[in-house]
Amino acid sequence: MKYKVYLQHEETGNITSLVFDYAGLFTGNAKIEIEKLGHRWFVIANSRCTGLNTSFGQKMIYENDIFQYKEHKGYKLPNFKAKVVWIDDYACFGYQRLLNGDWCPKVPFAEHDELDSDFISHCQIIGNTIENGSLFERPPHSI
């Protein structure tokens, strides 16, 4: 499994992210890579990789990513924005839409019959709740 670790600079407030596999995160390689950035960078959050790729396979999808789904012929969903979430009740990743200021129930990605062709291939990552919280909300957790 891969993890995206978000770091914030103490003085500037800038946020950056680094990606590590499980071994790299817990064997000290992450610490070495973070130290290469220089002093005053602090871990503020992390996100697990869903194992899914964006439509062109160029970018992995991580927990806390914000995506734009585009409506298309043959599928009943309208255009919407959502954040990628972990759903404890199903022990899987899914998404949660914000509709008219209210959070909709969480939807497991597995509920889509043709996940890649009918859903993921029509999604574009537009940010994440850590760096672009204004698109939805600032995440309530930090590590």
Predicted confidence at residue 57, as pLDDT, reads 60
- Domains of the chain by residue range: 2-134
Per the structure block, which two tokens stand in for 41?
């960078």
pLDDT in tens, 79-124: 999 999 999 999 999 999 988 878 899 999 999 988 888 899 899 9
* Main-chain dihedrals φ then ψ at residue 100, nearest 5 degrees: 55, 40
- The per-residue pLDDT of the chain, averaged, comes to 87
Q: CA 62, 63, 68, 73 torsion: positive or negative? A: positive
- Asked if residue 126 has pLDDT above 70, the reply is yes
Helices and strands in the chain: count of H runs, count of E runs: 2, 10
Distance CA 77, CA 80 (A): 8
28 or 20, greater pLDDT: 20
Q: In what order do the strands lie in the sheet with 15-21?
A: 15-21, 2-9, 41-53, 60-62
Q: How many Cβ atoms from other residues are within 10 Å of residue 122's Cβ? A: 18
Predicted confidence at residue 141, as pLDDT, reads 42
Distance CA 72, CA 87 (A): 26
Q: Where are the beta strands (DSSP E) in the chain?
A: 2-9, 15-21, 41-53, 60-62, 65-69, 80-87, 92-99, 102-103, 107-108, 123-128
Distance CA 127, CA 81 (A): 11
Write the burial class of residue 140 (CB in 10 Å: 0-12 exposed, 13-18 middle, 19+ buried): exposed
- Asked if residue 143 has pLDDT above 50, the reply is no
Distance CA 52, CA 1 (A): 12
